[in-house]
Structure 1
Amino acid sequence: MPELKKVLNYPTILLITINSIMGTGIFFLPAVGARHAGPASLISWAIMALISVYIAMCFGELTSMFPKAGGVYEFCKHAYGRFASFIIGWATLMAGNITIAMLVVGAIQYLLPFHAPLVKIPLSLFFILVFNYIAYKGMKTSAVMLVAFAFITLATIFGLMAPGIFQSQAGNFMPFFVFPMSAIFVAVFFIAETFFGWETATFLAEETKDGEKVMPRALIISTIIIGIIALGFVATSLGSINWQVFGKASAPLVDLGRLYYGNIGETIFTLMVYLAIIGSVAGWIVSAPRLILAMARDRLFLSQLAKIHPTYNTPHHAIVFQAILSSIIVFAGAGSYETLLLLLVPVVLLMYAAVVFSVVILRIRKPEIKRYYRVPFGKIGPIIIVLVNLALIAYWVIDTPGASRLLNLGISFILLGIPLYFLLEMYYSPRAVRKTNNSVAYLALFFEDFIMPKHVRRRAVDLLGDVKGKTILEFGCSVGTLTMHLAEKVGKQGKIYATDISEKDITIAERRLLRKGHKHVKVMHDPNHMYRIHPKIPKLHAVVSVGNLGYVRHMGEVLKGLNKRLAKGAKICFVDYDKFFDFIPNIEWLSDDKKIKKIFRDHGFNVEVFRKQGFAWKYIFIYGVKFRNV
């Protein structure tokens, strides 16, 4: 089976991490910080740099324990369990796509400061498609692209820092405190996004050589480098331009380029800043599919998205999904950079709080796991960081008009993941299927002619041939929709065994059959229905099943159980659903006729497959005979 390849070394992952973390913040947020705290925003940058280095250390310990593609999702899975890790993974995915929209808006704001959506949106989509294509073609190609963008970003910053050292004037820092002291902490909230991005780098841990040792070093060193660069850049910027002028600038680096290099500098740095910001988009586009891949592996996303390309060794289905999602978000988010920033920051601060706190949880619950790096003060420091993050959000809400509305909007994006989680659990988890089927049993009865129309029932039974007087197993009888029809066909000389995972469905089916006088039908509840054939099922003449294959966890065991009970030449018919609303697939193997035939053939059944369009899905008919014992 194809898998991700370890192709990234320390220098490469260090540069990719710098590119991922630095992002757009360094190009916009020095001006935003100055607007909120004046020259004292330098203190805000120093505070945020120190906090960030410690957060990077926490990420370092976690990555040394779990150098997997899921990154933050993987850490939280071990610390908090399935539900919480899904919500954190979902929040990260939402934050990442908001980041893509924000980066694109920010880049275009530099390149095309005028309002021209008919030009801006197609240009943005072009870059997104190009980057996704490169990501599709392999990690080595992607790494070259990301390293190139890292050099562009660093060249842009140093190109503006160097002349700033000589043109800074002490008078621009006077007075230093022009706002209340609380403004320094509010400014920390606004500039925090400059240091966001550790999670993006952790998604690449599985493709990094000696990831458990290399990733912690790359995360910590890159954060220290960014902290030093950010402090130097903000100091030279505020020293060169009065903080009030700088704070009002919509494209502050372009203003610096014009100040230092004249009109030609303005043009050059406009292009360089655009490329640097677009490079950050590339970073997320390359890494985010690894998060989707990890969640899909654990059946917390469509399992088809866990596929690895056999030639390029990339999560190609996840990349295509990410390309579509990114394009939609760009359309929806082609608005204000600062609005997107304010939507993003509280979501990410909450996510980081959960991730950092997992260090404490894992120190207590799983001390035996080898840690190639241990963060200092690992049981106290993370708690302080969590409190700081929550305090920053609280300061922002109290100090900024309209902040609570944006916070509620950000939280609502996270909460959208809750119904999605339960839908996915219902889709893949036998326990969830059982609970759900029990809850909606009467709805299934009411809509039975819609879910399983009479023509589908007739076709399924007809494919078994003449069943009169025979012993039949209905594997998954639900509320007895097909059972009633089958009971008539078999007649009182025959025998039907009908099994199901749902107690409520069984009760309804049993009641209906008794009312019709079908005493030759034995209905049996099986809590392990998705793993086996009930042990009390005797020898059979034929088997029929509708709508159960997608939930079966051990198809091989089920088919072995059937093979054991059927004679050679005995007929089987399975009907299932695929392409719900022409988009949502069933489990992976049911989407491929060749795989279906192979699975059945490996267990002694020769089958044919045909598909028929239904109202909101396609029916899959799998029918054939047993040709050998296994």
Structure 2
Amino acid sequence: MKPQPTEFKSSLRLIDATMLVAGSMIGSGIFIVSADITRNVGSSGWLLVVWLITGFMTLTAALSYGELSSMFPKAGGQYVYLKEAYNPLVSFLYGWSFFTVIQTATIAAVGVAFAKFTAYLLPQFSEDRVIADLGFLQISPAQLLAIVIIVVLTYVNSRGVNAGKSIQTFFTMAKLLSLFGLIVFGLFFMKKEVWELNWKDAWELKPLAGSTGIGTYTTLAAFGAIAAAMVGSIFSSDSWHNVTFVAGEIKNPKRNIGLSLALGTIMVTVLYILTNIMYTGVLSLHDIGHADKDRVAVSAAQVIFGSSGTVIIALMIMVSTFGCNNGLIMAGARVYYSMAKDGLFFKKVGTLNKNSVPAFGLWIQCFVACLWCLSGKYGDLLDMISFVVVMFYMLTIGGIFILRKKRPDIERPYKAFGYPVLPLIYIVMGLAFCVLLIIYKPRFTWPGLIITLIGIPVYFIIAKLKNNKSA
């Protein structure tokens, strides 16, 4: 009988890693969140500033992670970096948050987004239909289709990294080209009068008329409005670091992880900025801020392509979310694998199947993501975890400073770009974002923080059980 593999196969090339970065970032957010951003900032100029700030933070973080990935090119990514820089408790809290909400709820949200836009083509999958009412829980066809997609992609990825990478590369290429096509058509058909009106008072920061913003902006409240607006843009730009989780399966990881992070995040950031410029050329600010169900891209496509615009965007988002979820599912299980190797997760999660992938971790992740699909609370949770996500990014980037003192002798084939200035700027901006959210949007901060802190007693319980077993 052939023995079970004990090591990952190095199968992912630079192009595959880059497509994983870009594909994990582009889901449904860019097609939707500009509505909420516009309601908060009330002008075209500040709409772009929010995306530029987010893009700068994303690029800075990605370039900083390049150093960490070259130092520790193994499965687990951010979990490993936090453990090396701090201690097992900090890394466990990240892994705990990642498993309970960050990755699993994101997979659920992206899956339901796929189903919602499928309903444009096949109305029987509408989220407004109820096929089971359990009193405390209503189940729609959209939720069930999301579960089917998650299960199918989990199965595909359990068959080996080559199956997952083929889907990832194909669907990411398709959505990059389709998003670029939408931008080109939008800029070609942009309306001069709409553009001029939108950019007339481009730098006046205010709540959009007809929306419930934070209120009349004082100087501090203006910063609060920007932070609140960035919740959506950060969610849309997140998951770029998923490539670090599959480091053990990337060819020449010391070079290719850092390079893929740079290439992927730059590519997506440019596309996001151009997409929002296109929005301001075809839709009034009111139409952006008050698009039906926040679906700005649908409104823009209807202006550009007429009645067929809805179908075009629906297909684009289906392709986008399908590819995005494949990347999220592929990468997530590698974190639980690393946790299991440290004795902090189910032992079986730390084993590989005959296809050299952590199949048990994939299926546990699938189960939790499906529960979030059924709960209907994934959207609320995703808003709430932006605070936690940025907090762990700050800790990880801060780890660069710690490791340069603690481990000066370790090989660093790639060093953080702009060190120490850019990493420090990220930490300051991230800290400002978190503090402003605590002040102006406390409901976005406390639930995510509480979920993270619950991990502290869980960690000590697991550590105690682990010590009792070894005694």
TM-score (norm 2): 0.86
Q: Tell whether 2:280 aligns with 1:238.
A: yes
Residue type at the aligned position of 1:325: V
Residue type at the aligned position of 1:13: A
Comparing 174-183 and 47-56, the one that deviates more = 174-183
Offset, 1:363: 1.0
The Cα offsets for residues 466-495 of structure 1, whole Å up to 9 and x where unpaired, read as xxxxxxxxxxxxxxxxxxxxxxxxxxxxxx
Q: Tell whether 2:147 aligns with 1:125.
A: yes
Could you tell me which residue of structure 2 aligns to residue 220 of structure 1?
A: 262
Which of 68, 76, 80 in structure 1 is aligned with 2:74?
Answer: 68
Could you tell me which residue of structure 2 aligns to residue 378 of structure 1?
A: 419
Residue type at the aligned position of 2:262: I
Moved over 6 A (4+): none
Could you tell me which residue of structure 2 aligns to residue 154 of structure 1?
A: 176
Unaligned runs of 5+ in 1: 434-549, 553-630
Q: Tell whether 2:16 aligns with 1:16.
A: no
Offset, 1:301: 0.7
- In structure 1, what is the Cα distance between the partners aligned to 2:98 and 2:426? 19
Offset, 1:188: 3.0
Offset, 1:185: 4.7
Offset, 1:335: 4.4
- In structure 2, what is the Cα distance between the partners aligned to 1:137 and 1:63? 26
Higher helix share: 2
The Cα offsets for residues 113-153 of structure 1, whole Å up to 9 and x where unpaired, read as 65124311211110011000001000000000111221232
Change (3 A) 1:258 1:348: same
The Cα offsets for residues 349-402 of structure 1, whole Å up to 9 and x where unpaired, read as 111111111111111111111111101343443233122112112223333xxx
Which of 179, 197, 205 in structure 1 is aligned with 2:239?
Answer: 197
1:331-410 → structure 2 map (5 Å cutoff)? 331-332=374-375, 334-335=376-377, 337=379, 339-399=380-440, 403-410=441-448
Question: Any idea what SS the aligned residue of 2:416 has?
Answer: coil
Which of 323, 333, 350 in structure 2 is aligned with 1:289?
Answer: 333
The Cα offsets for residues 533-562 of structure 1, whole Å up to 9 and x where unpaired, read as xxxxxxxxxxxxxxxxx436xxxxxxxxxx
Answer yes or no: is the 8 Å Cα contact 1:202–1:215 preserved in 2: yes
Offset, 1:219: 0.1
Residue type at the aligned position of 2:372: I
Could you tell me which residue of structure 2 aligns to residue 326 of structure 1?
A: 369
Residue type at the aligned position of 1:287: A
- In structure 2, what is the Cα distance between the partners aligned to 1:174 and 1:186? 24
Question: Any idea what SS the aligned residue of 1:198 has?
Answer: coil
Could you tell me which residue of structure 2 aligns to residue 277 of structure 1?
A: 321
Answer yes or no: is the 8 Å Cα contact 2:70–2:254 preserved in 1: yes
- In structure 2, what is the Cα distance between the partners aligned to 1:357 and 1:394? 17
Residue type at the aligned position of 1:551: S
Question: Any idea what SS the aligned residue of 1:257 has?
Answer: helix
Which of 8, 31, 35 in structure 2 is aligned with 1:31?
Answer: 35
Offset, 1:49: 1.3
1:259-274 → structure 2 map (5 Å cutoff)? 259-274=303-318
- In structure 2, what is the Cα distance between the partners aligned to 1:152 and 1:29? 22
Q: Identify which of structures 1 and 2 has the higher relative contact order when contacts are C-alpha pairs closer than 8 Å and 6+ apart.
A: 2
Question: Any idea what SS the aligned residue of 2:352 has?
Answer: coil
Residue type at the aligned position of 1:63: S
Residue type at the aligned position of 1:352: Y
Residue type at the aligned position of 2:201: P
The Cα offsets for residues 392-438 of structure 1, whole Å up to 9 and x where unpaired, read as 12223333xxx213311111111121122122212222xxx3xxxxx
Could you tell me which residue of structure 2 aligns to residue 166 of structure 1?
A: 188
Could you tell me which residue of structure 2 aligns to residue 4 of structure 1?
A: 8
Answer yes or no: is the 8 Å Cα contact 2:64–2:423 preserved in 1: yes
Unaligned runs of 5+ in 2: 120-125, 130-138, 207-221
Offset, 1:159: 2.5
Question: Any idea what SS the aligned residue of 2:114 has?
Answer: helix
Answer yes or no: is the 8 Å Cα contact 2:127–2:141 preserved in 1: no
- In structure 1, what is the Cα distance between the partners aligned to 2:371 and 2:332? 15
- In structure 1, what is the Cα distance between the partners aligned to 2:347 and 2:420? 36
Offset, 1:178: 3.7
Which of 40, 43, 54 in structure 1 is aligned with 2:60?
Answer: 54
The Cα offsets for residues 486-522 of structure 1, whole Å up to 9 and x where unpaired, read as xxxxxxxxxxxxxxxxxxxxxxxxxxxxxxxxxxxxx
Answer yes or no: is the 8 Å Cα contact 2:67–2:413 preserved in 1: yes
The Cα offsets for residues 453-478 of structure 1, whole Å up to 9 and x where unpaired, read as xxxxxxxxxxxxxxxxxxxxxxxxxx
Answer yes or no: is the 8 Å Cα contact 2:175–2:320 preserved in 1: yes
Comparing 364-373 and 169-178, the one that deviates more = 169-178
Could you tell me which residue of structure 2 aligns to residue 474 of structure 1?
A: none
- In structure 1, what is the Cα distance between the partners aligned to 2:117 and 2:355? 35
Answer yes or no: is the 8 Å Cα contact 1:193–1:345 preserved in 2: yes
Which of 204, 208, 213 in structure 1 is aligned with 2:250?
Answer: 208
RMSD: 1.8
Change (3 A) 1:64 1:204: same
TM-score (norm 1): 0.65
Change (3 A) 1:258 1:336: farther
Residue type at the aligned position of 1:383: L
Which of 203, 223, 226 in structure 2 is aligned with 1:177?
Answer: 203
- In structure 1, what is the Cα distance between the partners aligned to 2:373 and 2:454? 19
Residue type at the aligned position of 2:363: V
Q: Tell whether 2:135 aligns with 1:142.
A: no
Question: Any idea what SS the aligned residue of 1:409 has?
Answer: helix
Residue type at the aligned position of 2:430: N
Residue type at the aligned position of 2:388: V
Percent identity over the alignment? 25
Change (3 A) 1:272 1:235: same
Offset, 1:194: 2.1
- In structure 2, what is the Cα distance between the partners aligned to 1:341 and 1:109? 17
Could you tell me which residue of structure 1 aligns to residue 302 of structure 2?
A: 258
Change (3 A) 1:185 1:129: closer
Comparing 96-105 and 80-89, the one that deviates more = 96-105
Residue type at the aligned position of 2:17: I
Could you tell me which residue of structure 1 aligns to residue 345 of structure 2?
A: 301
- In structure 2, what is the Cα distance between the partners aligned to 1:349 and 1:91? 12
Answer yes or no: is the 8 Å Cα contact 2:115–2:143 preserved in 1: no
The Cα offsets for residues 75-127 of structure 1, whole Å up to 9 and x where unpaired, read as 01110011111112222333111212222333334333651243112111100
- In structure 2, what is the Cα distance between the partners aligned to 1:146 and 1:291? 19
